[in-house]
Amino acid sequence: MTARIAIGADHRGAAAATSIAQSLRDKGHSIVVFDSCDPAQSCDYPDKAWQVGRAVSAGEADFGILICGTAIGMSIAANKIPGCRAAVVHDELTAELSRSHNDANILCVSADLLGQRLIDKIVTIWLATPFEGGRHARRVDKIARIERGESPSPA
């Protein structure tokens, strides 16, 4: 299955983002890279999280991938955008579970803590893993309620 994927990175994730984008293009995916950062100059991760998150939220991209030093800041920023479920992923298992259980639509990876080979494995597994639905769908629906300012458990 090919997908439309939005990619964003700050200066610390720029090299990893370039590599991921090319690899995914080679696999037939449609890739949009938002404002590639110069690794020699600092740029702010919330700007990239906003661009990718808005693309996913608006349905312009099926998935998003965000890369910064730790992935934590990107995840926090992206999760402020309605409709975004951004997961910090550090290994193959969390890649799989963030998709199968949480229906994560934005993958956040650390450029500083993970090597490119592991990042590539994570991206491959994450994109290949379907959402299981079932009891997990109920929980994702509760997240959407919280996002709308509602109680997750209707009275």
Hey, what's the torsion of the CAs at 58, 102, 29, 38, to 10 degrees? 80
7 forms beta bridges with 33, 65
d(CA 132, CA 1): 17
29 is catalytic: no
- How many CB atoms neighbour CB 95 within 10 A? 25
43 is catalytic: no
User: What DSSP string describes 27-85?
Assistant: TT-EEEE-SPPPTTS---HHHHHHHHHHHHHTTS-SEEEEEESSSHHHHHHHTTSTT--
Q: Do residues 59 and 52 touch, judged by C-beta distance below 8 A?
A: no
* φ/ψ (deg, to 5) at 90: -120, -5
Catalytic one of 43, 68, 84, 108:
68
Residues marked active site are found at: 68, 101
